[in-house]
A and B are shown apart, each in its own frame.
Chain A
Amino acid sequence: MIAKQRKAHKLVWLLMAVVVPILLFFAIKDLDFAANIKATETTEQFKVELVKDRTILITLSKPLPSSSSVLYEIDAAGKLGKVMGQLQGKGTYEFQVSEAASGIAIVDKIKNENIYTTTF
């Protein structure tokens, strides 16, 4: 390299050493770094509890990956029975099941897929 190029290199890096860190500092100074620390998913994503008085609690701590989620009772013959309601986003849902029910099922009625079945 010739002397001019060496000088140009030196100037460029001196300039970068000053300007770039200032820009980078202001770019990240308000970021919330703690938010990124990976939360270990210990909670169950999907929980069905049968509490007293034939009440069912369904907890979705993660959304169901379905285009619709209709909750059915499963009758004594093991077939889909009465419609109990619909599940939507994350949250806790409470339903009453009838005496005759032997379980519950979640069905995606748009895509006609059975998502989940459980018997008591």
Chain B
Amino acid sequence: MGLDYKLVLWNKHKKNYDKLIALGMVLYLIVFFVLSLVTNAEMTAETIIIRAFGSLAIILLHLILVIGPLTRLNPNYLPILYNRRHLGVSMFLAALIHGVFSTINFHTLGSKNPIESIFTSNMDYGSLTNFPFQVLGFLALLILFVMASTSHDFFLKNLSPKIWKRLHMLVYLAYSLIVLHVFLGAFQQETSPFAIGVLCLGFVLITGLHLTAAFKEGKIDSFKASKDSDGWLEVCTTGEIEESRAKIFTVEGERIAVFKNEGKLSAIHNVCKHQGGPLGEGKIVDGCITCPWHGYQYLPHNGQSPPPFTEKVKTYQLKVVNGFVYVNPNAYEEGTEVTPISC
């Protein structure tokens, strides 16, 4: 895919995805506004807006953060990952409304620049419970802004997937900052055990899922294959790989996907050029290896995306001896033709 800026390519699933995000957000806001107005009639509109959008952004952030590990644990969740960035941008917009209203409310019309005021109106940086919590929210919002504004594939390509991924991993820092922002801000005054309980539960859920997924992946990475006299690695038997599917093996720190296509075996590097998706968890569709994350495709025999696309991944040489599959750990250049071997 080229480097030129393309607008979002809409399809049926994307539209449904966005409708569901909008439905969820509207539902939340209605519940929050109606209940606040009914049970707390003296509350001012600004306060309700600040609280409704702030809490909505946190809930959406929780949803966003559970998707990744869920897909690692059960591939049926993959469709939610496809357009996760739409959820991210929606969450940023909710957080932005919260941030802008709070800044206007608490920091404008005064003797200081509002941004300067966020950092200097409360100077108790040495204390935990008195810490200027708005600074934490401001920094988190900056991170979310950078992420939302680079969420398009145009930036992914321009920044390179590696840097882009590193940038977008800052969401974990943003999440930590936001949780602290709430605990050191709102919860110091609004001590509802239910609200505090929800965020504690959320933290346990998110951390638990991420660590479970991480340890599961760790097992694959620690796979040790035995070498034959030529230095080739014995990875599995030919029967272990299903037709149109692959098995993933870790060879000298790199993951390799060994695919079976029409009874023949091919091996390519496991990492998709788009966002680093696990190609070995994909499937061969219309003769192309299809990435489970966003449907990028590669030909099994040369690791190249079918024209007009130009992505290329490394390929590996295979051999079959007595029904055992062996991989040559020395990769070929990206896009090198390797004849699939029969088994």
Contact = CB atoms under 8 A, between A and B. Distances in A.
Contact, chains A and B (beta carbon distance below 8 A)? yes
Interface in A42-72: none
Give me the 10 closest cross-chain CB pairs, A-B, nearest first: A10-B214, A27-B183, A13-B210, A36-B191, A1-B276, A17-B207, A31-B191, A36-B192, A33-B193, A12-B172
A61 B180 CA distance: 37
B149 interface: no
Contacts of B191: 28, 31-33, 35-36
Interface of B: 128-129, 162, 165, 169, 172, 176, 179-180, 183-184, 187-188, 190-193, 196, 200, 203, 207, 210-211, 214-215, 217-218, 221, 250, 253-255, 271, 276, 278
Interface stretch (A18-26, A75-83, A98-106): A18-26
Contacts of B128: 23, 26-27
A66 B75 CA distance: 62
B207 A27 contact: no
A14 interface: yes
A21 B276 contact: no
A9 interface: yes
A56 B80 CA distance: 68
A5 B162 CA distance: 9
A6 B220 CA distance: 11
Nearest to A27: B183
Contacts of A13: 172, 207, 210-211, 214
Contacts of A5: 165, 169, 276
Interface of A: 1-3, 5-6, 8-10, 12-14, 16-17, 19-21, 23-24, 26-28, 30-33, 35-36
Contacts of A26: 128-129
Contacts of A28: 183, 187, 191, 196
B276 A27 contact: no
A27 B221 contact: no
Contact of A2 (B188, B200, B207, B276): B276
A116 B211 CA distance: 63
A17 B188 CA distance: 22
A73 B196 CA distance: 51
Contacts of A2: 162, 254-255, 271, 276
A92 B165 CA distance: 65
Given A30-B129, A36-B191, A6 B217 contact: yes
A8 B169 contact: yes
A9 B180 contact: no
Contacts of A19: 176
Nearest to B215: A10
Contacts of A30: 129
A20 to B, nearest CB: 6
Nearest to B275: A1
A29 to B, nearest CB: 9
B203 A12 contact: no
13 contacts: A1-B165, A1-B276, A2-B271, A6-B221, A10-B211, A10-B214, A10-B217, A10-B218, A16-B176, A20-B176, A24-B179, A31-B187, A36-B191
